[in-house]
Amino acid sequence: MDRRVVVTGVGPVSSIGIGKKAFWESAREGKGYFRSIDFQGIDIEQFKSRICSPVDNFSLSDYFENPKRLKKGGRATQFSVIGALLALQDAGFKLILTNKENSSRPEMFSIDGIDPMKCGVIIGQAAGNYDILLSNHVKFLDEMGPKKMNPFTLPHSNPNVGVTSVAECFRMQGTCFTVSTACSSATHAIGAAVSNIRSGIEDMVITGGVDAPIHRYYFLAFDIIKALSRRNDDPMKASRPFDRERDGFILGEGAGIIIIEEYGHALRRGARIYGEIAGYGYSADAYNIVAPDPSGSAAIYAVKKALSMANISPEEVEYINAHGTSTVLNDPNESFIIKQIFGDYAYKIPISSSKSYFGHPLGAAGGLESIVTLLIMENSVIAPTNNLDDPDIGYVDKNVPDLDKRCDLDYVPKIPRKKDVNIAISESFGFGGQNGVLVFKKI
Catalytic residues: 183, 323, 360
CA-to-CA distance for 406 and 332, rounded, in angstroms? Answer: 6
Measure Cα distances from 212 to 34, 132, 235 in Å: 15, 11, 19
Amino acid present at 195: S
Per residue in 285-321, is it b (16+ CB within 10 Å) or e — as a string? Answer: beeeeeebbbbbebbbbbbbbbbebbebebeebbbbb
> Of 290, 294, 277, 301, which Cα lies nearest the Cα of 366?
277
Q: How far apart, in whole angstroms, are the C-alpha atoms of residue 133 and residue 147?
A: 16
Cα–Cα distances in angstroms (integers) from residue 317 to residues 309, 341, 346, in the given order: 14, 11, 10
- Beta strand pairing status for 254-262 and 434-441? unpaired
CA-to-CA distance for 250 and 239, rounded, in angstroms?
A: 6
**In sequence order, what are the residues at sequence separation of 6 or more whose Cβ sits closer than 8 angstroms to the Cβ of residue 13?**
55, 58, 79, 82, 83, 86, 210, 254, 255, 256, 257
Encode burial over 165-204: b for 16+ CB neighbours within 10 A, e otherwise. bbbebbebebbbebbbbbbbbbbbbbbbbbebbbeeebbb
Compute the chain's Rg from CA coordinates.
Answer: 21
Alpha helices in 113-262 (DSSP H): 130-142, 153-157, 161-170, 185-198, 216-224
Alpha-carbon distance of 232 to 221, in angstroms, equals 18
Q: Other CB atoms closer than 10 Å to residue 395's CB: what's the count? A: 21
Name every residue whose Cβ is closer than 8 Å to that of residue 14 and which is 6 or more positions away in sequence: 23, 55, 252, 254, 255, 256, 358, 361, 364, 368
Whether 36 and 50 have beta carbons less than 8 Å apart is answered as yes
